[in-house]
Structure 1
Amino acid sequence: MNVSHLDAKLINWTDFTQARNELGADFLRILGYFHEDGTKSVFAIEDAMRARNAAAMIIPAHTLKGESRQFGAERLGDMAEEIEMVARRCVEHHESPEELIEIVVALRGCFGETITALEKDSNPLVARRPGGFGRKIEAAHGLSRL
């Protein structure tokens, strides 16, 4: 198994910010689709692995790769690409995808970690600047702490 995906950053925040800017008001809705579609892709890849069906891994891995990279999810995109490429080779050579067991097992954890990071940074209710909320009101009304 190629472990180059372990060297990849979880999120490329530059790519993430670019996607956020390009998608504008549609960003949160499309991130939600990524969460839903990604969950389905991970399940499909796991089911295909249990069935030792390399052909059934290709489309969900390809989908997960593309959607991951759209949001800057480098590690997840690299993992999905590896699954897709090895699965394609296995189909061409009529081999079982046994060598993908470790990466398929690790995929769910990486997907969960990625979604958590993306959604946390996307939540409009998360304060991005410490101590920013309420400070001006306190100062304007003389409500400083005694």
Structure 2
Amino acid sequence: MEKLDITDPGLPVVDIEVFEKTRATMGAGFIKIITYFGEDGAKAVAEIEAAQREGNAARMVMPAHTMKSEARQFGAMTLGDLTERIEMGARRCVEHQEAPDELLVLVAGLKPLFRRTMEVLERETNPLVQRRGEIRSAAGNQSFGRI
């Protein structure tokens, strides 16, 4: 895997195509499910951080796995990539019976990335908020409007 710089403020955190496809598929329940993702995600972040403090790699695996899948479902690919790295690293630590010290930097970046992701998801679901372009579009950075 290539290096993931989650501190890069220009890093797109949501893939708009995936986000819109999920929104269309889920229909009216989409907003409620985004809310659940936010609540469950905050709990998962807290669990992963607590497991890191305890040196308990096994306890990191499930919340990281769940967050990875749910994040990618909403197009939050950067969060999905980070949680995949945490999950795989935790699994490796469990297999080798090692403390998850190597995951400290990744776990430290999880909460800020989760918050940033939720801000984008909430902004994208709020019809009263002007979009800022923190989403990735397959069309690139094209502008649409009158000629």
TM-score by length of 2: 0.82
- What are the ranges of 5 or more consecutive residues in structure 2 without an aligned counterpart? 132-147
One of 89, 103, 108 as aligned partner of 2:106: 103
Structure 1 runs of 4+ aligned residues shifted over 4 Å read 5-8
Indicate the structure (1 or 2) with the bigger Cα radius of gyration. 1
Q: Corresponding residue for 2:117?
A: 114
Take 2:31 and 2:78, find their aligned partners in 1: how far apart are those partners? Answer: 21
Q: 1:45-124 residue pairs with structure 2 within 5 A?
A: 45-124=48-127
Deviation at 1:9, TM superposition (A): 3.3
Counterpart position of 1:4: 4
Q: CA deviation at 1:2?
A: 6.3
User: Which has the larger helix fraction?
Assistant: 1
AA paired with 1:120?
Answer: R
Q: Which residue of 2 aligns with 1:126?
A: 129
CA drift at 1:126: 2.8
Report if the CA contact (8 A) 1:86-1:100 is conserved.
Answer: yes
Find the aligned partners of 2:111 and 2:36 in 1 and give their Cα distance: 17
Alpha-carbon distance in structure 2 between the residues aligned to 1:79 and 1:103: 7
Shift of 1:110: 0.2
Is the contact between residue 52 and residue 96 of structure 1 (CA under 8 Å) also seen in structure 2?
A: yes
Equivalence for 2:38: 35
How large is the RMSD of aligned CA atoms in angstroms?
1.9
How big is the shift at 1:71? 0.3
Partners of 1:76 and 1:58 lie apart in 2 by 15
Partner amino acid for 2:4? S
| Percent of matched pairs sharing the same residue | 49
